Structure 1
Amino acid sequence: MAAPKFFNISSYSFKPPALPDRDATTLRPDWVLLDTKAYISDLTNGTTATASASNGVPVGVTFWVVDLPTLSHFSVNCEAHSDFAEEPRVICSDKNVVVLCLYWLSTKSARYRVLHDYFVYTARSPKNAAPSLIRLPNPRPRRVFSPLDMGILPTADGEGFVIAVVCPQQMFPGLYYLHTFLSKDWRWNTRSALLEPQSAAGRTNVKNHRTDKVIPLTEEGSLGWVDHWRGIMLCNVLDVDNPNPVVRCIPLPKPMAGNMDIENCPWLYRDVAYIGGRIKFVELEVTEIRPPKNDQRTGGLSDHIPDMLFDSDMELDDDSTCVVEDKAEDTVRWRAVAWVRETSQKCWIKDCEAGIDDIAIDNNAAHSNSLPPLKNLMTAAPTLSMCGEEIVVYLMCKLKMKDDNAWLIAINMTRKTLEDMTLFSAKRTFFFNTTYRPCSLSKHLDMAADNREVGVQIKEEDDSESRTVLVDRLDPRVTEEELRCIFAKSGELGDVQILADQQRASVKFVHMCSAGNAIREFNGFLIGRNHIRVSWKCKTLNKQQTGDAKFSGASSCDHTAEGTFRYPKRSRLEAHLYHLQQLKLLPPPFRSADGG
C-alpha cells in the first residue's frame, strides 16, 4: 500500500515489520508489548474484524502477535487512509477488549479539524465465535478530554465493559466530571465525583493533575489515572448506581535527584502498573559519570533512598524541577528503584534497587555479543512487566538520540540480571517517545482462525427486526443515498429503503446497538424541511430495548396496518411539550440541561 503525501503520517507506517521466521500464528502469550501506533496495511489474518467509520468507509483492524521482547503491532486497512490526520491508536485495553481511535481530517470548513472515531475491538472467546469491531457513539456534546484519558474495565459478570474518563470541574476545586460509557446501555453518562476528604493532603498534587496513562485495577473495580509526576487518581467506575462517586489520590514519590526536566517528560523515567493486587512504581535515574555541581541539583531524593515513604511526606512542590548539565559524550550511569503498595496502605515500600554496575550479563548468551556495553547506551522509558512477583522492567536504549534502531532490554531488578533483549526499528520513534505498552489481549487472539463462515452465520442468526428502525415524518425530497450518509454515523448499515408514500423509511443496521445509536442520535433531527421521528420498527420491544426507547424519547409503536403506526395518546400539554422537543426548542427527556 503506497503512502499518501501527508505530513504527519510517517512513511514507515506503510511498511509493517515482518514476523519472525518461527510459526507465529499459533502464539498466544499471556501478554505482549504492543505498538499502539497502527501500521496501514491490507494484510489480514484470523484476528481481522471490520466495521464502518462515521463517514461510511469500511475499516479493518488486524493484530500481529510475537513473543517478548519483540514488539507486537496492529494494522488498519482503510481505503480512505489519505483522510487520516495521524496513525490510528490503541487507547486502552483490558482482557479481551481494546478501544481504538481513528483520527480523521475534516475539511468541511475553512479550518482543518480533527475528528475522532472510537471503536471497540473484542477478541474471539467461547461467547464470541469471531472477533468484532463496533464503533462507539461519540460523547454528546463533545466532551473536552483527550482520548488518552480513557480507561476500560470489564464488568463484574464478564458480559460487558465500562469506559470512563475523569475531568476536573474548573469552577469547583475538588469536584470532577466522571464520564462513563456502559456497554449494557450503549450510551455515555456523566456524574459529578468528589475528592475524598482523606485525600485533602494530596490536593497540591491533584490540582495540576495531567494524565499520562490509565491503569485498570480489575480486582477492585477501579481505574487509576496516572500522572507520572504527581500521583494516581482512583475511582470505582463499576459502581454505576452510586450517584456520588469518590475520587481518591495516591501521591507518587518525589523525583530522584539526578533526573532532569522530569516535569515535562516523566514517562522517560517513570512507570506505574497494577499487578497481582498491588501497585508497582519504578523510577529510572540517569546521570553523567562525573557528579554534577551542587547548585545544579534542586529537589528530589538524596543519594540514600529510604525503605519506606509515607503519603504525608510526598507533597510535591511544583516550583522545584530537577536539572543537570548535559550528559557526558561517552559514558552514562543509571540506577532504578522499584516501589510497591496496596491501595489501602498509606505508604510506599521499597522493593528493590539496581544500578548499571549491578547488572550481570551472561557472556555466553546470544544477546551479549550484539549488545554494546550498557555504559555506552542512552537509556530511558522504563516499562514494567505485567506478571510475576519479581520486578522486571523493559528499557529502551540507543547509541544516539536520532538513531533509527534501538534496543529493548529486559532487566530483572530483583535478581540484577539482563533477562533478554531485542533490536527493533525506531524510525517511527521521535527520540525516546515510545508508543508501546503492555497488553493482555494476546492470549485471546488466534491469528490462524478463519472468520469468514462464522461472521456470515452470526449476521444471519440476528433478528433483522431488532436491527431496523423506522424513520417517520420524512421530507419527500430526501433520497435513500442521503439517508445512508446520515445514518452511517450510527454504525454499519445494511439496507436503507424509502417506503412508497415517501414519508417513511426503513433503515436496517448490522448490529442492534447501532440501531439504538440511531434512535438516540437522530430522533428529532432536522433533515430537509422536517424534524424526523426515529423509532424501533419491531412490533414488540424486549425489556432492554424498551428501556432505551423510553430513555431516548422514542415512542414504542403498534402495527395497525402496513406502513401505519399508532402512537400512545398524550395530554394536550404533553403533546405540546413533545412537539417543542422534536423541534429542539426544548431538550428531549434524555438530554441533560447542557444538551448532552
Structure 2
Amino acid sequence: MFIGDAKSLVAPELPEMGPRYPEWIFLSTRAYISDRVNAATVACSNTSDGHPIHVSLFAATPPAAGPKTPSLIRIANPDPCISNFANIGIVCCGADHFAVAALIRDYMTDMYMLSVFYSKTGVWETRLLPLEPSESLCHPAALCFFPSKVIPLEGSLLGWVDLWRGILLCNILSDNPKLHYIPMPKPMPGNEALKGEGDPTCYRGVIGCGDLIKVVEVDYEYNDTEVADTSSYIPEEWTLVTLTWRLDSREWKRGHEVNIGDITVSQDFYGHTDVLPRFCENGTPSLKKMPLGLPTLCEWNNMVYFMCKVNRKDCNGWVVAVDMNSNKLQAVSSFCGATLPGFLTAYYPSLFTKYLNNSGLEIELNAQTFDGLASTDTEDSSIDD
C-alpha cells in the first residue's frame, strides 16, 4: 500500500554532476518505475513471468563504466524461500563471479541455514550451521536474532546484524564455514528500555570494513513539549557515541562522544540559507532546529549522516553530515525518499560508483549534493577505530 505524497513516485530531475562520479554514494533503497532508458548502459533481463525488465542508473553528467555490456542475472529463490532481503549479502569471487549468501534460522534444529548462490555454477548450496558457543553467548539456542543488515568484512567474511542483540559472522566461501557471535554494545542509558522494541535504525547504525566493525548510537533527550500539529517532528537534544570492534578483540572500544551542543557549523554554511531555510538562526543552519534520526556511518570517512524531516508524512527530506573529528555540521543534501515517509531507511552508502569512472560505456546516475556530501573525502578516506 502506498503511503505519502504521490509526487514522490515521479523520478526527480537530474542536476548537473561533473565529469567524474564520486568514489561512493548514498544509493536509494527504492527504485523508480519510469520509461527513462539509457540505451548504452541499460541492463536487461526477464521477470519470473517472462516479462522483460530494464534497469538504468542515471546521472546528470555521464561518467564511464567498464567495457563490458551491463547485464542482469535473475536468481531463483533457494529452498526454503527468502522472505527478508535484509538477510542477504554478496561477495566477489574473482573478476567475473560472485556469491550471494542468505542466513535463515531453522527453529526445528535451533541451527541456521546458510544458503549460498554461486554465479559460476548458477545453483544454491545450503547447509545447516550451529552457532559456535562463546564467552558472551553461553546458550546459543536461546538467542533471539532478527537481522536488519548484512555487512561485508575482510575476504569472504559477512556479518548479519541485529542492532540490539549482536552480529553473526561467517566466512561463506570457506570449505568448513562456522558461525560466530559478537555481542552488540550495551545501549546508552536513555535507550536501555528500547532494547528489543521498535526499529533500532532510529538510534543505531553499523558498518564493516576489513577487520573493523563500527557502531554509532544516538541517545535522544525527549521533552514533553506540546505541539498543535502532531504530524510534525519536534527537534530533540541528543548525545552521540561511536564504538569499534576489531575481529581479533573481545570488547568494544569507545570512540567519539558528541553532544548536539558541541557541534558548530562549517564556515561554508555562513549566510547560506537556501539549503535549509527553515532551520537557520541568523542566516546559519542550526542542528538544534532540525528533527534528526537514522544515524548512518560510512566506511570511507569519519562522518555521521542523519536524516532530517519535518513531517511524519514527508517522503522528501535532507541528509545532514556531521564530522566527528571536528564536531562540525559539514554538508547537507536534499533527497527524495520515493514511497518512504517519516524516518524509514531510504538509502545506504555504496561503493558502486567507484567502478564507473573507468573508460568505456557511458552511464547516468541521479544525485544532488551540497559541499561534497556524496564525494570522496580526500583528507580522511577510511574509518578510525
TM-score by length of 2: 0.80
- CA deviation after TM superposition for structure 1 residue 430, in Å: 2.0
Report if the CA contact (8 A) 1:206-1:231 is conserved. no
- CA deviation after TM superposition for structure 1 residue 376, in Å: 2.1
State the secondary structure of the residue aligned to 2:130.
strand
Give structure 1 stretches of 5+ with no counterpart.
1-5, 68-122, 292-325, 453-596
C-alpha distance in 1, partners of 2:76/2:233? 51
C-alpha distance in 2, partners of 1:331/1:162? 43
| Shift in alpha-carbon separation, 1:394–1:330, aligned structure 2, 3 A | closer
Residue 143 of structure 1, aligned match among 62, 69, 81: 81
Report if the CA contact (8 A) 2:148-2:162 is conserved. yes
Matched, 1:49 2:43: yes
Matched, 1:280 2:219: no
**Structure 2: which amino acid aligns with 1:336?**
L
- CA deviation after TM superposition for structure 1 residue 28, in Å: 2.4
* Structure 2 counterpart of 1:224: 159
- CA deviation after TM superposition for structure 1 residue 134, in Å: 1.6
C-alpha distance in 2, partners of 1:431/1:202? 39
Write the mapping of 1:482-497 to structure 2, written as runs, cut at 5 A.
none
Matched, 1:337 2:237: no
Q: Which has the higher helix share?
A: 1
- CA deviation after TM superposition for structure 1 residue 171, in Å: 2.3
**Structure 1: which amino acid aligns with 2:90?**
I
Write the mapping of 1:146-161 to structure 2, written as runs, cut at 5 A.
146-155=84-93, 157-161=94-98
| Shift in alpha-carbon separation, 1:206–1:158, aligned structure 2, 3 A | farther
* Structure 2 counterpart of 1:401: 312
Matched, 1:387 2:300: yes
Q: Which moved more, 1:45-54 or 1:188-197?
A: 45-54
Report if the CA contact (8 A) 1:385-1:438 is conserved. yes
Matched, 1:184 2:115: no
- CA deviation after TM superposition for structure 1 residue 41, in Å: 1.0
| Shift in alpha-carbon separation, 1:404–1:130, aligned structure 2, 3 A | closer
- CA deviation after TM superposition for structure 1 residue 14, in Å: 4.2
C-alpha distance in 1, partners of 2:141/2:310? 35
Matched, 1:358 2:295: no
Report if the CA contact (8 A) 1:28-1:444 is conserved. no
| Shift in alpha-carbon separation, 1:387–1:330, aligned structure 2, 3 A | closer
Matched, 1:235 2:170: yes
| Shift in alpha-carbon separation, 1:205–1:193, aligned structure 2, 3 A | closer
**Structure 1: which amino acid aligns with 2:156?**
G
Residue 198 of structure 2, aligned match among 260, 264, 267: 264
* Structure 2 counterpart of 1:534: none
State the secondary structure of the residue aligned to 1:357.
helix
Report if the CA contact (8 A) 1:64-1:447 is conserved. no
C-alpha distance in 1, partners of 2:308/2:289? 10
Instruction: Indicate the structure whose relative CO is greater, using CA pairs within 8 Å and at least 6 residues apart.
Output: 2
C-alpha distance in 1, partners of 2:261/2:104? 43
Matched, 1:255 2:191: no
* Structure 1 counterpart of 2:369: none
- CA deviation after TM superposition for structure 1 residue 149, in Å: 0.8
Report if the CA contact (8 A) 1:153-1:163 is conserved. yes
State the secondary structure of the residue aligned to 1:255.
coil
C-alpha distance in 1, partners of 2:104/2:135? 17
Report if the CA contact (8 A) 2:233-2:312 is conserved. no
**Structure 2: which amino acid aligns with 1:338?**
T
C-alpha distance in 2, partners of 1:138/1:59? 18
**Structure 1: which amino acid aligns with 2:261?**
D
What's the CA shift string for 1:480-503, capped at 9, x where partnerless?
Answer: xxxxxxxxxxxxxxxxxxxxxxxx
* Structure 2 counterpart of 1:166: 103
| Shift in alpha-carbon separation, 1:137–1:172, aligned structure 2, 3 A | closer
Write the mapping of 1:519-534 to structure 2, written as runs, cut at 5 A.
none
* Structure 2 counterpart of 1:82: none
Report if the CA contact (8 A) 1:202-1:251 is conserved. no
* Structure 1 counterpart of 2:382: none
Q: Where does structure 1 differ by over 6 angstroms across 4 or more consecutive aligned residues?
A: none
C-alpha distance in 2, partners of 1:393/1:192? 37
C-alpha distance in 2, partners of 1:277/1:180? 22
Residue 17 of structure 1, aligned match among 12, 15, 39: 12
| Shift in alpha-carbon separation, 1:124–1:407, aligned structure 2, 3 A | closer
Structure 1 vs Structure 2: percent identity of aligned residues?
34
State the secondary structure of the residue aligned to 1:344.
coil
- CA deviation after TM superposition for structure 1 residue 348, in Å: 0.5
* Structure 2 counterpart of 1:37: 30
Give structure 2 stretches of 5+ with no counterpart.
280-285, 364-385
**Structure 1: which amino acid aligns with 2:257?**
E
Q: Which moved more, 1:142-151 or 1:221-230?
A: 142-151
Report if the CA contact (8 A) 2:233-2:291 is conserved. no
C-alpha distance in 2, partners of 1:448/1:137? 33
- CA deviation after TM superposition for structure 1 residue 414, in Å: 2.1
* Structure 1 counterpart of 2:283: none
Report if the CA contact (8 A) 2:213-2:245 is conserved. yes
